Amino acid sequence: MSRSYGVHWALLALLVVIGGCNKGTTSVGAVPVSGVVLLDNEPAVGVTVSFSPDDPKKGMAAVGTTDSQGRFKLTTRVAGDGAVPGEYTVTITKSAAKATGTATVATMSDPRGSATGVLSPEQQKEVLEKMKAAQNQKADTSASDIPAKYASRDTSDLKASVTAGGQNEFTFPMTK
C-alpha cells in the first residue's frame, strides 16, 4: 500500500467520523459560551474570537464572530454549541480577507439556513481546512484596528476558563 493511499483512507475515515457525530446535538460535551469583545470600550464588530485549548487533550478549538454589538457565541461542532469545558487562550482577529468577500472560518459558523443548525459534512470539511490554514499562517492584521498581540496564541494575554455548570459569559476588553 502506498503512503498516499493510506493518507487518503485516513482522511476518509476522519470525514466519516465527523459526519456521523452530529445528529443535531454535539457529542463532544460542549457547553454554551458567549460574550462581548470591546476595543477601547466600544463594541468590536465583525471580529473572529477563537478559543484554543491550553491542553488539547482536555478541550477542542471553538470559534465565533462578533455582531454589531460586539457579542459572540462560540461553535465547536454544531452552530452555537459553545466550547468544551477547560482552560483556553483566546485570540481575536479581524481578517482583511473577510472584507474582500473571501470565506473565512468565522463565516462558517453560520448554518446557511439549516433548520437544525448542524453543519453539513462539506461545511465541516471547509471549517477544518480553514482552521488548519489559519494555524499555518500569521493573521493579517494590517487592515485591522485589532492590535496584533491579540492575533497570536503566543502573545495574547486573554484567557478563559469554561466550566460545565458556570455562566461562561466572557468580556474581552482590548486597547489599541
166, 33 Cβ separation under 8 angstroms: no
Question: Domain limits at 9?
Answer: 3-174
The residues, any chain, with a CB within 8 Å of residue 155's CB and separated by 6 or more, are 148, 149
Report pTM.
0.63
Instruction: Provide the greatest CA pair distance for the chain.
Output: 58
d(CA 109, CA 163): 22
Quick: pLDDT tens for 120-160: 777 777 777 766 666 555 444 445 789 999 999 999 999 99
Quick: pLDDT tens for 63-93: 999 999 999 999 999 999 999 999 999 999 9
141, 93 Cβ separation under 8 angstroms: yes
Percent of the chain with pLDDT over 90: 51
Q: How many domains does the structure of the chain reveal?
A: 1
